Structure 1
Amino acid sequence: MQKSLFLGAAALLCSLLAAPAVYAHRDTDDDWDHRSSYRHHHDHRSDAYHDIQRKRARLERAYEERRQALWIHDKARRMGDWATVRFERARLDRLDRKIEHGQRELRHAYQKLKWRRDRHDRDDGRDRYGYQYDRF
C-alpha cells in the first residue's frame, strides 16, 4: 500500500515537474506551422518603438546615476576625502562613456526607425506608381 502510494506520488510529481519543461520549448523555431513560433509575425515597427523606449529609459537611469555620483564627488571634495574623490571621478568618467554610448544607440535607433518608415513610404509609392526596380 505504501509502495504504490509512494510510486503514485512520485509519478505525479515527475509529471508536474515535466510540464514546464515541455512548454518552455514550445516557442522555438522548429515548429514553423504554429503561429506563435513564427518569429516574423510581430510588427517590426512596434519592436522598434519598444527598443527606443527601452534605450531612452536606460539613458535616463544613467543620467540619474551620474547626477548622484557628481553630488557624492562634490561632497567628498568639500570634505577633503580624496580617496572617494578619485573613486567618484573614475565612476563619472565611466558613466560619461556609458551616456555617450547610450546617446549614440538612441540616435541610431531613431535613424533606423526613420529609415523603415521612409522605406514603407517608398514601397507604397512603388506600388502606386508602378516603379519596379527589381524587375529583371
Structure 2
Amino acid sequence: MDMDLDSVSEWTEIVLWVRRETGGWSARTVWVVAVDGEAYVRSAFGRRSAWYRQVLRDAETEVEVAGIRRSVTLRPVDDPDLVQRVSGAYRAKYGLSWPGPVESMNAYEAAATTMRLADLREAAQLPA
C-alpha cells in the first residue's frame, strides 16, 4: 500500500505514533478520512485524549500504514465548514459498518479535535 496522501482514501485506519514528554512513544490506532485530497483524523475522546494534547504541544508525530512509517505534522482545523465536510467523510466511509462509533466521532467533542495530516515525509528513525 502506498504511503502518500494521494492514497489516503484506501487507508481504513492508521497507527498514530506520538512522542511522549518522557521520550518514549505511544501508539494509537485511529480512523482516517480524505476530503479534497487531504487526510484528516480526530480524537474519539475529544480533548481528554493524551495523544491529542501532546500533538497540540508540538510532540513529534509519525503515522504508520501497512507497516510503513512516516513523520507527519498534524494541523488543527478551525473552519466549521471543513469540520462538517470531514464529518460527512466519516459517515460515508465508516457509517454503514460502525454507525454508533461514527456518531461519537461526529459529536461536538470529537469533531472539535479535527486535525489535518500535513508534511508527510520519511521518518528519520524508527522508535524503539
Please, what TM-score do these two structures have when normalized by structure 1? 0.21
Q: Which has a greater percent of helix?
A: 1
Of structures 1 and 2, the one scoring higher in RCO (CA 8 A, sep 6+) is 2
Please, what TM-score do these two structures have when normalized by structure 2? 0.22
The structure with more radius of gyration: 1
Q: Which has a greater percent of strand?
A: 2
